[in-house]
Structure formats: C-alpha cells, structure tokens
C-alpha cells in the first residue's frame, strides 16, 4: 500500500506514462500473489562468530568457533568471512568450515591449507571465501591482500540442505613458530523458504484434481 501511494505521488509530479503504470500494476499483482504462495526468493542471512588468538595459545593448536543457526530454510549458497585475520605464516594453517545438522554425518569444506606446510606469506586483512572467488588464497601475496577467494572445496555441497545446525570454523595451526589472531568471522547463508514453493494456481489445480478424484471414487462405489 505504501508503495502504491508513493507511486501515485510520484506520478503527479512527473506525469509518468501508462506503460510505467502498467509495470507498477504488475508489480502490485505480483506482491498480492506472493501472499498466497511460499516465498521463492533467497534471503541472505549473516551469523557472527567470535574471534581469538590463532592458535589459542603458543604457536601450535586448534582455534575453533561455532555459530548455531536456527533457521531451517533451504540453502542456496554459503560463504564465510574471516574478519581482521592476521598470521605470520599462512602455510601453518589448515582451515575448514564444518556443518553438523545434529542428525546426519557432518560436512566439511576445506577453506585453505592441505595438510602440508604451505607458503610463509602473512595474513593481514579480511578474507571472504566464496564460490567464484580468486584462486590460490595462500599464494596471493605477502601479505595476502584482503578480498574474496575460492575455498579449496566448493560450498555447493551445502546446497539444498536445511541451514539449521551448528557451523564451526576450524583454524588448525599445525607448525611451531608463528601465530596470529582473528578479529571475528561471519557465516553467510543465502537461503530460500522452509516449505517447497507452492504457487497459488498450483494449489488450486491440486484442489481441483482432488474433486475429480472424489467424483471418480464415488462413481466407482455406485457401480459396485
């Protein structure tokens, strides 16, 4: 309603064409229609995680931090940001994102680090890992510039799952000497609606099929 009023005022001032009005009418019809069906558009959600020393003490060990996601929307896309992450030897670290829905085996995506001692490059920035990001994070420079990088594994392994569960960032510093810190981290989940989308016309069609089925069964009964 607010949009319709604003549009009307806008029209008075500028004298917009009929074509523009038709477009707005179509948009309004779409909004009305959407109230009768499940949302199909994706909703980007962000969940903040806490930072800390990497590793938690000394120069070897596991930094782990989890966030709980209550939303049960279907995952369209996942990315993760390491905010204000610094370390004096990036190749010390194996980084993973692990999803545990509490029922099925957990799913692990390797962000960077393959278990062997990697390059001595420093981390010093904010790094987002997302499908389509730049390749070779650990070798991207010294210090590694802030930006969006590809993880070692695709995040598409999460697509189609319900987002609800525990998401854990692991930064495993496996090598003595060199340490760092993480300011915070952010889990980003682009998710759709909980229920499978059922547009209003399809619902009506199913209702109609139900009536047809009912009539058929009654005829069958009367024939027996």
- Piece of the chain touching Ca ion by CB under 5 A; list 15-23, 28-36, 116-124, 198-206: 116-124
Greatest Cα-to-Cα distance within the chain, rounded to the nearest angstrom: 87
- Piece of the chain touching Ca ion by CB under 5 A; list 4-12, 108-116, 122-130, 186-194: 122-130
Choose which of 71, 100, 122, 159 interacts with Ca ion (CB under 5 A).
122
Round to whole Å and give the CA distance between 116 and 188: 28
Round to whole Å and give the CA distance between 224 and 217: 11
Round to whole Å and give the CA distance between 73 and 202: 21
Round to whole Å and give the CA distance between 83 and 185: 5
- Distance (Å) of CA 36 to CA 80, 115, 197: 34, 51, 11
Decide whether 176 or 213 has the Cβ nearer to Ca ion. Answer: 176
Q: Are 189 and 45 in contact (CB under 8 A)?
A: yes
Pattern 47-66, Ca ion, x by CB under 5 A: ------------x-------
Q: Is 89 in the site for Ca ion (CB under 5 A)?
A: yes
Residue closest to Ca ion when measured from CB atoms: 92
Q: Is 88 in the site for Ca ion (CB under 5 A)?
A: yes
Q: Is 99 in the site for Ca ion (CB under 5 A)?
A: no
- Distance (Å) of CA 184 to CA 84, 138, 187: 7, 19, 10
Q: Is 77 in the site for Ca ion (CB under 5 A)?
A: no
Q: Is 92 in the site for Ca ion (CB under 5 A)?
A: yes
Q: Is 181 in the site for Ca ion (CB under 5 A)?
A: no
Non-local (6+) Cβ contacts of 150 within 8 A are 129, 130, 131, 132, 133, 134, 135, 137
Q: Is 120 in the site for Ca ion (CB under 5 A)?
A: yes
**Residues 130-159 contacting Ca ion, CB under 5 A:** none
Question: Minimum Å distance from CB 160 to Ca ion?
Answer: 37
Choose which of 111, 137, 178, 185 interacts with Ca ion (CB under 5 A).
178
Residues that bind Ca ion (CB under 5 A): 59, 88-89, 92, 120, 122, 173, 175, 178
């Amino acid at each position: 309603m607010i949009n319709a009023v604003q549009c009307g005022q806008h029209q008075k001032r500028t004298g917009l064409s009929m074509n523009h009005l038709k477009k707005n009418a179509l948009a309004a019809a779409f909004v009305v229609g959407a109230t009768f069906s499940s949302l199909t558009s994706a909703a980007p959600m962000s969940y903040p995680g806490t930072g800390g020393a990497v590793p938690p003490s000394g120069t070897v060990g596991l930094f782990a931090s989890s966030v709980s996601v209550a939303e049960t929307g279907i995952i369209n896309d996942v990315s993760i940001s390491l905010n204000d992450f610094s370390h004096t030897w990036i190749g010390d670290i194996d980084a993973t994102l692990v999803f545990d829905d509490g029922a099925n085996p957990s799913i692990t995506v390797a962000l960077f680090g393959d278990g062997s001692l990697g390059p001595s490059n420093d981390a010093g920035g904010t790094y987002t890992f997302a499908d389509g990001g730049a390749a070779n994070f650990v070798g991207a420079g010294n210090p590694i510039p802030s930006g969006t990088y590809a993880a070692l594994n695709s995040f598409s392994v999460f697509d189609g799952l319900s987002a609800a569960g525990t998401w854990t960032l692991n930064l495993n510093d496996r090598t003595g000497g060199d340490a760092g810190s993480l300011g915070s981290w952010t889990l980003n989940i682009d998710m759709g609606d909980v229920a499978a989308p059922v547009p209003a016309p399809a619902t009506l069609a199913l209702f109609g099929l139900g009536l047809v089925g009912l009539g058929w069964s009654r005829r069958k009964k009367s024939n027996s």
